[in-house]
Structure 1
């Protein structure tokens, strides 16, 4: 790799921000945009450096309750150094993408490619979680599972917007390849990066569309499961109520035909059981 230094700033404090603005001449607005999760990807040409803001998945935490978020990162390419701004401490140079780099622009491109690969990894996880939740919703009436599904749908919307924003950034890198001084190998890598990001975008859109189309169906399944439960409970209540009425009628403190019959208890019990059996047979015959 050609000589050059790589400086990484993770969630810089005020002193480090002043250093970046005063010494490295980084635009203050661009610096803050690099740490803003709602900022769109973009490329800017400054007098002494190139400024890039790109989107990447935020590290997932169990506290997020299946909500996958995105964050922004800043890359500032100088003649002899590359400054990286991150909002959180994450592994940057892991993976085979960094097994062989030739220059600072090459490192910059591979960092953007690493974010695409990171998005793909999260999409696989989201798809697995979606399949698991769908199977649970089919057998459950708990709204919690359905809310988790809505949360994953919200995450996919964030991912589609972020990946699409990165697509525009990669296109600008390709169109300005000559101005940026990319080598033929780096231009070829940009082409590969564009293809990978496009495939990632299409995959995210497919997952998002499928999940959105299934939302109403899954909500209907939960409602149908609840209706089936209420129907079963009503049948059980009716089966219990009829023999209860029979027993209550013969328990009134008034004369009745079985008052002096020594077998009255068994007759009443048999009549109650017969009424219960009659209701069960009617239920089966009418297929309630």
Structure 2
């Protein structure tokens, strides 16, 4: 499917006009839509088809005069509070219009359409639209890492006295998401810098400020991911130690209970033999043996307690 938008009061408004639009958004394109792009905009095939590969690496390419008219970035997609993936988006500047091609929806694009956090004032400029898209992607990484941090904090409080594998599975999911983020943010960095090689931004008075701010945003995302990764690694080690410690406590308790239960079993086994034994002719022999088991059990329990086995 595809949508066409025009910018009005810094908001992107859908339009039906075939020519009067600024942004052509193509989501999970059909074969006919791909043919339309190839013929109407005279684009190379790799511009269109490479984005269908979910593992396509971020990069830039130029149509003419080495101008980087194609920008492929990795954007984050939230599946749950602990599960995230990234997918490529192709941003193409052609015929004074911006074309974006991606296969899976994300909050990044909804934020861009609804003017939630515009970084660039004159976003109506095509080059600034590309800059705004890069800004939203970098900001999305930061927002999602904050959610992951909350999950890590919650997980830390839950794992102090737990041996459940659920928490281990959650740690693995968080580690996977952070690793994906770390690689995508690193690969996005050179593409973001290449945005400022476009002619318009080279002449812009606030070019250096925009470049610095976007670089800082991307660096902040990278640092936050690295910090969260370290925290999660430490938490994983802590969780492993907690599990081992809890299992040791359980084994000590079970072993101590086994020892206590063995005492009456041994006494009962001995006095159950078909041979002559002490007290066999005493009417209250059963109660005497029961009392003997109880006394020995209490003494054993005291010894185990003093040695911190219980």
Cα distance change, pair 157–147 in 1 and its aligned pair in 2 (3 A): same
Q: What secondary structure is seen at the aligned counterpart in 2 of 1:96?
A: coil
Q: Is the counterpart of residue 150 in structure 1 residue 172 in structure 2? A: yes
Q: Over the residues paired in the alignment, what is the CA RMSD in angstroms?
A: 2.4
1:237-276 to structure 2, matched below 5 A, reads 237-276=258-297
Report the equivalent of 1:54: 73
Q: CA deviation at 1:53?
A: 0.6
Is this contact kept in 1: 2:60–2:194, CA < 8 A? yes
Report the equivalent of 1:10: 27
Q: What secondary structure is seen at the aligned counterpart in 1 of 2:84?
A: coil
> What is the distance in 2 between the residues matched to 1:287 and 1:114?
57
Q: Is the counterpart of residue 78 in structure 1 residue 94 in structure 2? A: yes
Is this contact kept in 1: 2:120–2:128, CA < 8 A? no
Q: Which of 145, 155, 163 does residue 133 from structure 1 map onto?
A: 155
TM-score computed with the length of structure 1 as normaliser: 0.89
Decide which structure has greater helix share.
Answer: 1
Is this contact kept in 2: 1:35–1:73, CA < 8 A? no
Q: Which runs of 5+ in 1 are unaligned?
A: none
Q: CA deviation at 1:169?
A: 1.2
Report the equivalent of 2:37: 20
Is this contact kept in 1: 2:127–2:198, CA < 8 A? no
Cα distance change, pair 17–187 in 1 and its aligned pair in 2 (3 A): farther
Is this contact kept in 1: 2:120–2:132, CA < 8 A? no
Q: CA deviation at 1:213?
A: 4.2
How many residues in Structure 1 have an aligned counterpart in Structure 2? 284
> What is the distance in 1 between the residues matched to 2:185 and 2:204?
25
Q: Which of 10, 30, 34 does residue 47 from structure 2 map onto?
A: 30
> What is the distance in 1 between the residues matched to 2:143 and 2:68?
32
- Give deviations 1:200-234, integer Å, cap 9, x for gaps: 11111111133234433422322222122111111
Deviating 4+ runs (over 6 angstroms): none
- Give deviations 1:77-98, integer Å, cap 9, x for gaps: 1242111112113324231227
Is this contact kept in 1: 2:178–2:229, CA < 8 A? yes
TM-score computed with the length of structure 2 as normaliser: 0.83
1:74-113 to structure 2, matched below 5 A, reads 74-90=90-106, 91=110, 92-94=112-114, 95-97=116-118, 101-113=123-135
Q: Is the counterpart of residue 165 in structure 1 residue 184 in structure 2? A: no
Q: CA deviation at 1:247?
A: 2.6
Q: Which of 124, 140, 146 does residue 124 from structure 1 map onto?
A: 146
Q: What secondary structure is seen at the aligned counterpart in 1 of 2:113?
A: coil
- Give deviations 1:169-228, integer Å, cap 9, x for gaps: 122223x14466663345532321111111111111111133234433422322222122
Cα distance change, pair 179–42 in 1 and its aligned pair in 2 (3 A): farther
Worse-matched range after superposition: 191-200 or 127-136: 127-136
1:208-227 to structure 2, matched below 5 A, reads 208-227=229-248
> What is the distance in 1 between the residues matched to 2:178 and 2:200?
35
> What is the distance in 2 between the residues matched to 1:23 and 1:251?
98
